[in-house]
Amino acid sequence: MNYSSTRGGDECLVSAGAIIAGIANNGGLFVPKQIPTLNQSAIEALSALNYQERAYAILKEFLTDYSEDDLNFCISQAYCSDKFDDESIAPLQSLDDHNHVLELWHGPTSAFKDMALQLLPQLMSKALKMTGETAQIVILVATSGDTGKAALEGFKNVDQIKIVVFYPNDGVSEIQRMQMVSQSGSNVTVVAVKGNFDDAQTGVKNIFNNDSFNQVLNGHGYQLSSANSINWGRLVPQIVYYFSAYADMVQNGAIAAGDKVNFVVPTGNFGNILAGYYAKQMGLPINRLICASNSNNVLTEFLQTGIYNRKREFYRTISPSMDILISSNLERLLYHITNGNSAQVASWMADLQAHGQYDVGNQVLKAIQEVFWAGFAHDEQTSRTIKEIYDTYHYTADPHTAVAWHVSNCYRKQTGDTTPHVILSTASPYKFNCSVLSALTDEKSLMDRNEFVMLEELAELSGIPVPTALAELKNAVIRFTQVCEKTEMEQTVKQLLVK
């Protein structure tokens, strides 16, 4: 399987090369030349397998340059019982016949980013050996909160790789911040940026695109790479749990093999839901992919009108991991939906860069709408939904999951579709203890309440134990206190590496 850029050109790499590079030379994203398919009996056979075996069955279709042993080694390192607190890795909770919650937060950092970021470092480390690459890889991460910690956990102490994480100074929850600034590992650095997530992401992209700076780094034996979901190695592990959820539903009798399901995905950078699109293209019986946003509803508008317009107010919400106005992975969807029209994709991306918007036109919009549906939730709706889910099912959902739940209900009301829904639950409620507690208790001002008291209170209400890693933050030592201006990010990297 070969990979090329969404923006064309003749760069063509096997997966190991695409994973090391992160982003294509011309600024595009790597996409597989063709999308492999699984027939119905291969999909049915997944029901008898465990998560690790399901992962192998899917990943081997895309990562064809990895040997069977290497791939299985990577999978066993990533999805093991030291790191995940549930042996199903991504357990499915069926709350009733219509609503199935796919819990993607049983990994070491309690957010769904672990599903990909436990595997990516393993794949990258193998890729370095396979390609004989001798440079030190420097992973630059911009995070809206969850990616940073998950990447730090995944890459800490991995040979030949350093990692630098930039997070928006006022844009992450207190638990998220503590998780990052206390990170262990000899190859990690964490820096706060004065700005929002898009500022941090733009800063990182600018560093990637600055050729002369990259040459300076190369001269010192460093090569930059990415752990954001623009990296193919981040995206491909996410395809697995769509198949896994479906296999579980067949196995527990919620559906018959071949029946369709809808997936509802709380969306920011469009990585998670795009993995669902790949699953559908591979033959998984998906009726609709429902894209759920918060007040930063640029994707809702795009999926309804075909116009992507980032020139709008940025809101800080109680689902901060989705506070994003530039959804990078949409570029991959545009590539596939136009049957690989890379010139067209490049021109839309140039419009976005120059004018802050692009318009895909009616025909492309129609093709997208055959697969996707979109809606959004304001914070009050999200809070109310957390309470409703708790009152109805005694299930405690985090704010991102609640955004998806709200949009799931909107979809049913507006379309009358009765296909069963799998709602992707992307974070443990404990990661957003303050928002969840205030939704459940109607107390509005918990802002100055101690984090660890809130964890305990939430444990009492939810009946589920506090994840050990979060409880242990109480005694964690703070290692990183650096704050930089959004214009100083390159300088910060330079000081770290070149001195």
Ligand X SMILES: *Cc1c(COP(=O)(O)O)cnc(C)c1O
Of 255 and 368, which has the nearer Cβ to ligand X? 368
Of 346 and 427, which has the nearer Cβ to ligand X? 427
Joined tokens for residue 184: 């262990």
Q: Which of 70, 103, 146, 199 is the binder for ligand X (CB under 6 A)?
A: 146
**Residues 335 and 31 sit within 8 Å (Cβ to Cβ):** yes
Q: Is residue 266 within the footprint of ligand X (CB under 6 A)?
A: yes
Region from 12-20, 82-90, 261-269, 367-375 binding ligand X, contact rule CB under 6 A: 261-269
Site string for ligand X, 391-410 (x = CB under 6 A): ---------x----------
Q: Is residue 268 within the footprint of ligand X (CB under 6 A)?
A: yes
Region from 251-259, 260-268, 451-459, 468-476 binding ligand X, contact rule CB under 6 A: 260-268
Please give the distance of CA 448 from its chain centroid, rounded to a whole number.
30
CA nearest to 417, candidates 278, 245, 261: 261
Site string for ligand X, 327-356 (x = CB under 6 A): ------------------------------
Backbone angles phi, psi at 153, to 5 degrees: -65, -40
β-strands 307-309, 357-359: how paired?
Answer: antiparallel
Strand partners, 264: 290, 423
Q: Which of 111, 190, 303, 397 is the binder for ligand X (CB under 6 A)?
A: 111
**Residues 284 and 246 sit within 8 Å (Cβ to Cβ):** yes
Count of residues touching ligand X (by CB under 6 A): 17
Q: Is residue 143 within the footprint of ligand X (CB under 6 A)?
A: no
CB of 150: closest distance to ligand X in angstroms? 8
Q: Is residue 269 within the footprint of ligand X (CB under 6 A)?
A: yes
Backbone angles phi, psi at 103, to 5 degrees: -85, 110
Of 262 and 344, which has the nearer Cβ to ligand X? 262
Region from 74-82, 151-159, 262-270, 376-384 binding ligand X, contact rule CB under 6 A: 262-270
- From its phi and psi, is residue 3 left (phi > 0), alpha (psi between -120 and 50) or beta? beta
CB of 270: closest distance to ligand X in angstroms? 5
CA nearest to 203, candidates 483, 495, 482, 485: 485
Of 14 and 473, which has the nearer Cβ to ligand X? 473
Q: Is residue 153 within the footprint of ligand X (CB under 6 A)?
A: no
Q: Is residue 317 within the footprint of ligand X (CB under 6 A)?
A: no
CB of 146: closest distance to ligand X in angstroms? 3
Region from 194-202, 265-273, 378-386, 471-479 binding ligand X, contact rule CB under 6 A: 265-273
Q: Is residue 379 within the footprint of ligand X (CB under 6 A)?
A: no
User: Who contacts 101 (Cβ-Cβ below 8 Å, separation ≥6)?
Assistant: 92, 93, 94, 95, 395, 397, 401, 422, 423, 425
Joined tokens for residue 428: 């443990």
Report the b/e string of 156-188 with b at 16+ CB within 10 A.
Answer: bebeebbbbbbbbbebbbebbbbbbbbbeeebb
Q: Is residue 113 within the footprint of ligand X (CB under 6 A)?
A: yes
CB of 228: closest distance to ligand X in angstroms? 9
Q: Which of 4, 272, 385, 462 is the binder for ligand X (CB under 6 A)?
A: 272
Q: Which of 46, 239, 322, 334 is the binder for ligand X (CB under 6 A)?
A: 322
Q: Which of 271, 306, 375, 467 is the binder for ligand X (CB under 6 A)?
A: 271
Active site residue 486: no
* Spatial distance between the Cα atoms of 23 and 30, rounded to a whole number of angstroms: 7
* Spatial distance between the Cα atoms of 483 and 46, rounded to a whole number of angstroms: 47
**Residues 490 and 213 sit within 8 Å (Cβ to Cβ):** yes
Three-state secondary structure readout of 75-100: HHHHCCCCCCCCCCCCCEEECCCCEE
Q: Is residue 270 within the footprint of ligand X (CB under 6 A)?
A: yes
CB of 53: closest distance to ligand X in angstroms? 25
CB of 462: closest distance to ligand X in angstroms? 17
> DSSP assignment of 1-38, as one string?
--EEETT-SS-EE-HHHHHHH-S-TTS--EEESS----
- Element holding 117 (H helix, E strand): helix 113-117
Q: Is 311 exposed, middle or buried (0-12, 13-18, 19+ CB in 10 A)?
A: exposed
CA nearest to 83, candidates 126, 47, 46, 113: 113
Of 201 and 492, which has the nearer Cβ to ligand X? 201
Q: Which of 110, 409, 426, 433 is the binder for ligand X (CB under 6 A)?
A: 426
Which residue carries 């672990």 as its tokens?
114
> DSSP assignment of 397-438, as one string?
--HHHHHHHHHHHHHHHHH-----EEEEE-B-GGGGHHHHHH
Site string for ligand X, 208-247 (x = CB under 6 A): ---------------------x------------------
Q: Is residue 179 within the footprint of ligand X (CB under 6 A)?
A: no
CB of 301: closest distance to ligand X in angstroms? 16
**Residues 425 and 401 sit within 8 Å (Cβ to Cβ):** yes
CB of 324: closest distance to ligand X in angstroms? 7
Identify the active-site residue in 33, 60, 83, 113: 113
Region from 110-118, 194-202, 307-315, 331-339 binding ligand X, contact rule CB under 6 A: 110-118
CB of 179: closest distance to ligand X in angstroms? 12
Catalytic center residues: 113
Per CB under 6 A, residues contacting ligand X are 111-113, 146, 229, 266-272, 321-322, 400, 426-427
